[in-house]
Amino acid sequence: MLGAVRSGIFPNDPEDMPVWVWPVIGLQPQPDWPRGGLFLDGDGNGRFSRDVDFAFWVDLELGPPFKVFYPPTVTRQALRQRIFGDAWPAHMATIEELEARARRDDALRQIPDVVRRFPRLAVLVFESQEHHIAGFGGAKHVNAVAQVNGWLAARARWVRFSPDIHYLAQAMGKPSARTVQYPAMKVLDGKSIADLLEPEAERGGPTDGQAMSAVVCELADRTQLNIWAPTLSRALVQ
């Protein structure tokens, strides 16, 4: 439950505009951008302070029209608390606009339709240790977990997290640092994902190119030979 979500009136200095864009793209706020945002009011004074308050990140569409998209949870709470009364700010996306954008852009929502259109599709998801550390996925890699489990929930033909270690060894020219084989068609648990991730290349893991080569080769060999066992004891094609 969000506490004091407030609309702020902020200084005229463009650098102080509390619309922090995610991902960070080096885009500087312009003088003619709309003012005001949503934040947790730490000191309860109704005004934004960088030292004690928390301003929420937004996705930004420059338009026209200029539009900021706060997370749905934050937007719904602001609506429930009637932060803006009856006049919702024109530069902030409404619940309806958030939903329309999600239907268009949210890849997870498209998975069931993809499975219906391509019933023989096989999916293999690769994730390294540092992937999404700086993003919404965080250290728990929630994006990868959601992808794998989304394909499974949609009943895709075959789904696996991380390529077989034998294919990684083939692509790297040396044994994989990861020894745990995660079987296909098994729901992914975010609590145990750390053991299934490949180290970065500088720490003995595959480069991005090597990892994707392992993914492509495993899928190609399985498709050619029609072998869809959950795990393998060797690369199917030597």
Provide the mean pLDDT of the chain: 81
- Tell me the average pLDDT across 48-71: 78
Copy the structure tokens of residue 233.
């004891």
> In Å, how far are 23, 38, 122 from 71, measured between CA atoms?
14, 11, 32
Give residue 139's pLDDT: 60
Range with the poorest average pLDDT among 27-41, 53-67, 68-82: 27-41
Residue position matching structure tokens 């990140």: 57
Q: Which of 157, 166, 143 is nearest to 223 (CA)?
A: 157
Q: pTM of whole model > 0.75?
A: no
- Tell me the average pLDDT across 36-42: 77
What is the phi-psi region of residue 105: left when phi exceeds 0, alpha when psi lies from -120 to 50, beta otherwise? alpha
How far apart CA 24 and CA 47 sit, in angstroms, is 24
Burial of 160 per CB tally in 10 Å (0-12, 13-18, 19+): buried
Element (H, E) at 104: helix 95-105
**Residue-wise pLDDT tens digits, 97-128:** 998 888 887 888 899 999 999 999 999 999 88
How far apart CA 50 and CA 134 sit, in angstroms, is 21
Using the predicted structure, report yes or no on whether residue 156 has a pLDDT greater than 60.
yes
Range with the poorest average pLDDT among 37-46, 105-114, 220-229: 37-46
Q: Which of 101, 33, 28 is nearest to 71 (CA)?
A: 101
Give residue 182's pLDDT: 92
Give residue 132's pLDDT: 47
